[in-house]
């Protein structure tokens, strides 16, 4: 049984590695070697990585790739993606190429409002609380002037503060519901700093009039239903096999697949996971918080009372439409954007987008990924393409050398791929 360790965060990096290797590894020397293998040889760069989080032992690598040929609002983009799933980047590239001959992607911002709340308990007269709030509301803005000064210069800041009575949901529960515009910053630190000052102001002013308020917490919300972007594609319906159109049969199948995801939550979760394959990969590559994005997006998918599809499809006036509306609170300044070299490079590849432009690019990546998945599902099936991309992983797991990989990739070009088939083919080759 492992014993508690005291002062672990104060250990040197080498001491932490030694402790982990000695306590959790059958072969401590091998463990140490693995951890050191992933250190960056550039000491300055490694120091930057070490200081991102606490108790760093090494770096955990993900492939950093690009998907080219994305036409978005009549501008061509190559989109950086960081992800380990074998078929995602290929699928994104295929979808981009497919739609590049059909007008490309269109994207627009529907809103950029971000939300934070001060949660507090109050057992007294609600009317007295409301009177206090209306009296001191200007003071919230005054007390946060030092925090908001620079943001306001750029055109952002606090946009509204409301008192909300939530006692029907929870006894004695009230909140300050606050909205913000943070421009190119994701704004978490800015929002939380404002909220904590709101809480101090509320406590101070309530004491003056003898109202007993207990602030529980002050925190931003990752549910940003008014920070939303729309991405869409459309093309004419025709059976002439033109590269600028799609067939009625294919369009109907896509629409049916989306309808099933709208009706059936079990399917909707996997359907939306495909959307997030594209979104998360770009969010991660650009140094944004994919956990916050995931939480907000999935909450949005259930906004109408049942978890449902994030994407939509229809035929109207002989035109096929496929689109997504999705909440994305993103930043292109602050955080990792000024620290991580690959994040800087990713933003450079994207031509230094504003936060609004990045919202559009990432929404397009999610829509493209979902389209690619649906296209496979309603035509050849998902496994054919997925397993083809997964073949090298299977060969690496089986210990195939470079010559064997080359021969087996050719062997499986027109054959069904499975774990058993790959193992058998490799065994036969070695005979």
**Helix, strand, coil percent values for the chain (each to nearest 5):** 50, 20, 30
Cα separation, 425 vs 430, whole angstroms: 9
Number of domains composing the chain: 4
Q: Which of 221, 250, 285 is the last residue of a domain?
A: 221
* CATH number of domain containing 256: 3.90.770.10
Within this chain, do residues 209 and 348 fall inside the same structural domain, yes or no? Answer: no
Specify the pLDDT at position 56: 95
Within this chain, do residues 22 and 138 fall inside the same structural domain, yes or no? Answer: no
Q: What is the mean pLDDT of the segment spanning 341-349?
A: 96
The dihedral sign for the CA sequence 330, 333, 334, 337: positive
Which 3 state secondary structure label does DSSP give 220?
strand
Within this chain, do residues 282 and 341 fall inside the same structural domain, yes or no? Answer: yes
pLDDT of 52 above 80: yes
How far is C-alpha 40 from the geometric centre of its chain's CA atoms? 26
Cα separation, 297 vs 276, whole angstroms: 9
What percentage of the chain carries pLDDT values higher than 70? 97
Q: Which residue has the tokens 């027109």?
A: 414
Within this chain, do residues 204 and 318 fall inside the same structural domain, yes or no? Answer: no
Among 289, 340, 357, 411, which one carries the catalytic annotation?
A: 289
What confidence category does residue 381 fall into, taking pLDDT thresholds of 50, 70 and 90? Answer: low
Is residue 386 annotated as a catalytic residue, yes or no? yes
Residue 59 lies inside a defined structural domain of this protein: no
Residue 293 lies inside a defined structural domain of this protein: yes
Specify the pLDDT at position 102: 96
Residue 105 lies inside a defined structural domain of this protein: yes
Within this chain, do residues 162 and 186 fall inside the same structural domain, yes or no? Answer: yes
* β 228-237/245-246 pair status: parallel
Is residue 181 annotated as a catalytic residue, yes or no? no
- Structural domain of 25: 8-50
Q: Which of 343, 362, 379 is the last residue of a domain?
A: 379
**Phi-psi category of residue 269: left, alpha or beta, with phi > 0 → left and psi -120 to 50 → alpha:** alpha
Among 114, 386, 390, 411, which one carries the catalytic annotation?
A: 386
Is residue 390 annotated as a catalytic residue, yes or no? no
Among 13, 18, 50, 85, which one carries the catalytic annotation?
A: 85
Which 3 state secondary structure label does DSSP give 427?
helix
pLDDT of 401 above 90: no
Average pLDDT score over the chain: 93
Within this chain, do residues 248 and 375 fall inside the same structural domain, yes or no? Answer: yes
Cα separation, 132 vs 143, whole angstroms: 16
Within this chain, do residues 265 and 279 fall inside the same structural domain, yes or no? Answer: yes
Residue 2 lies inside a defined structural domain of this protein: no
Specify the pLDDT at position 384: 58
Within this chain, do residues 364 and 255 fall inside the same structural domain, yes or no? Answer: yes
Q: Which residue has the tokens 């990792």?
A: 336
Is residue 271 annotated as a catalytic residue, yes or no? no
What confidence category does residue 18 fall into, taking pLDDT thresholds of 50, 70 and 90? Answer: very high
Cα separation, 428 vs 404, whole angstroms: 11
Helices (H) and strands (E) in the chain, counts: 15, 11
Residue 297 lies inside a defined structural domain of this protein: yes
Within this chain, do residues 305 and 258 fall inside the same structural domain, yes or no? Answer: yes
Cα separation, 91 vs 65, whole angstroms: 13
Between 241 and 105, residue with greater pLDDT: 105
Within this chain, do residues 36 and 92 fall inside the same structural domain, yes or no? Answer: no
Among 97, 137, 273, 298, which one carries the catalytic annotation?
A: 273
Residue 236 lies inside a defined structural domain of this protein: yes
Residue 3 lies inside a defined structural domain of this protein: no
Specify the pLDDT at position 177: 98
Within this chain, do residues 357 and 334 fall inside the same structural domain, yes or no? Answer: yes
Q: What is the mean pLDDT of the segment spanning 289-295?
A: 97
Tens-digit pLDDT profile for residues 198-212: 999 999 999 999 999
pLDDT of 382 above 60: no
Residue 258 and residue 274 in contact, taking contact as beta carbons nearer than 8 Å:
no
Q: 33-37, 130-134, 309-313, 420-424: which range is least confident on average?
A: 420-424
Q: What are residue 408's phi and psi, to 5 degrees?
A: -80, -30
Residue 56 lies inside a defined structural domain of this protein: no
Within this chain, do residues 272 and 176 fall inside the same structural domain, yes or no? Answer: no
């Amino acid at each position: 049984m492992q014993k508690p360790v005291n002062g672990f965060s104060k250990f040197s990096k080498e001491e932490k590695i030694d402790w982990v290797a000695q306590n959790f590894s059958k072969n401590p020397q091998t463990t140490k070697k693995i951890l050191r293998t992933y250190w960056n040889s550039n000491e300055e760069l490694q120091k930057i990585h070490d200081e991102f989080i606490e108790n760093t032992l090494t770096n955990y690598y993900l492939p950093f790739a690009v998907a080219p040929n994305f036409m978005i609002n009549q501008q061509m983009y190559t989109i950086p993606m960081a992800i380990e799933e074998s078929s995602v980047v290929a699928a994104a590239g295929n979808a981009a190429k497919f739609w590049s001959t059909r007008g490309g992607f269109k994207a627009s911002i529907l809103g950029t409002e971000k939300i934070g709340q001060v949660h507090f308990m109050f057992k007294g007269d609600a009317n007295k609380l409301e009177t206090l709030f209306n009296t001191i509301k200007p003071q919230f803005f005054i007390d946060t002037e030092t925090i908001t000064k620079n943001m306001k210069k750029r055109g952002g800041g606090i946009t509204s503060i409301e008192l909300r009575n939530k006692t029907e949901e929870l006894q004695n529960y009230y909140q300050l519901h606050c909205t913000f515009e943070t421009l190119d910053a994701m704004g978490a630190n800015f929002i939380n700093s404002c909220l904590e000052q709101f809480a101090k102001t509320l406590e101070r002013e309530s004491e003056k009039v003898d109202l007993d308020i207990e602030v529980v917490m002050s925190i931003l919300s990752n549910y940003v239903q008014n920070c939303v972007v729309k991405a869409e594609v459309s093309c004419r319906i025709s059976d002439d096999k033109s590269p600028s159109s799609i067939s009625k049969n294919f369009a109907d199948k896509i629409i049916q697949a989306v309808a099933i995801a709208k009706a059936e939550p079990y399917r909707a979760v996997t359907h939306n996971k495909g959307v997030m394959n594209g979104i998360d990969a770009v969010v991660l590559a650009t140094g944004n918080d994919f956990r916050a994005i995931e939480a907000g997006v999935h909450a949005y998918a259930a906004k109408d009372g049942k978890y449902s599809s994030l994407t939509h499809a229809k035929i109207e006036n002989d035109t096929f439409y496929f689109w997504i509306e999705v909440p994305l609170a993103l930043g292109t300044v602050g955080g990792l954007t000024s620290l991580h070299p690959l994040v800087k490079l990713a933003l450079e590849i994207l031509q230094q987008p504003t936060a609004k432009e990045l919202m559009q690019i990432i929404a397009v990546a999610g829509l493209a990924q979902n389209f690619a998945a649906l296209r496979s599902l309603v035509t050849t099936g998902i496994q054919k393409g997925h397993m083809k991309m997964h073949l090298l992983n299977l060969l690496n797991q089986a210990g195939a050398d470079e010559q064997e990989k080359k021969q087996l990739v050719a062997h499986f070009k027109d054959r069904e791929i499975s774990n058993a088939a790959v193992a058998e083919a490799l065994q036969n080759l070695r005979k």
